[in-house]
Structure 1
Amino acid sequence: MSARPVKHSVTLHGHRTSISLEVPFWVELRAIARDKSLPINALVAEIDAARGMDSGLASAIRVYVLEVLKERLSTSE
């Protein structure tokens, strides 16, 4: 699996935008969206709305995925 970011387009606020994430982050983001019964665009919109202006969207997504996975680990112990 490549460590290089892969670009995918999503729709935010009615506009297409590209996000570059490494494949493992795309895989987990899609799994989280599926678990929440949300389209990927809706989940990305939630992450976008919650992020501060201090971070970019791709960074906010990575942190979100990390936090979800850490929460899953802590509840499974």
Structure 2
Amino acid sequence: MIELPPMTPPLKRSVTIDGHRTSVSLEDAFWKALATQAAARDLTRAALIGRIDHARPPEIGLATALRLFVLANA
């Protein structure tokens, strides 16, 4: 049998990127991982999200880019 982590529905949070508010829906595990990655870089979570937003290709949604970033840095 496979053991799964605690499951939560996506949580929508507002983030300000370059002075513009946007909402992002991610599962709690991704929000926590982003906070950990931000702290490791001495950034706020919002600042890290802004950097990821600027680095992502335009055809990739922000939530997807955030999830892929977390997986790549796990």
TM-score per shorter chain, which class? 0.7 to 0.9
Q: CA deviation at 1:64?
A: 0.3
After superposition, residues 26-45 of structure 1 pair within 5 angstroms as 26-45=31-50
> Equivalent residue for 2:28?
23
Q: CA deviation at 1:55?
A: 0.8
Superposed CA RMSD in Å reads: 0.9
Provide the aligned length of Structure 1 versus Structure 2: 69
Q: Which has the higher helix share?
A: 1
Please identify runs of 4+ aligned residues in structure 1 that moved more than 3 A.
Answer: none
| Partner SS, residue 49 of structure 1 | helix
> Equivalent residue for 1:68?
73
Q: CA deviation at 1:13?
A: 1.1
1:50 matches 2:55: yes
TM-score by length of 2: 0.87
Q: CA deviation at 1:68?
A: 0.6
| Partner SS, residue 27 of structure 1 | helix
Aligned mates of 1:18, 1:2 — CA distance in 2: 21
Structure 1, unmatched stretches of 5+, are 70-77
Structure 2, unmatched stretches of 5+, are 1-5
Aligned mates of 1:26, 1:40 — CA distance in 2: 9
Q: Deviations over 1:21-72 (max 9, x none)?
A: 0010001000000111101111001100110012100000000000011xxx
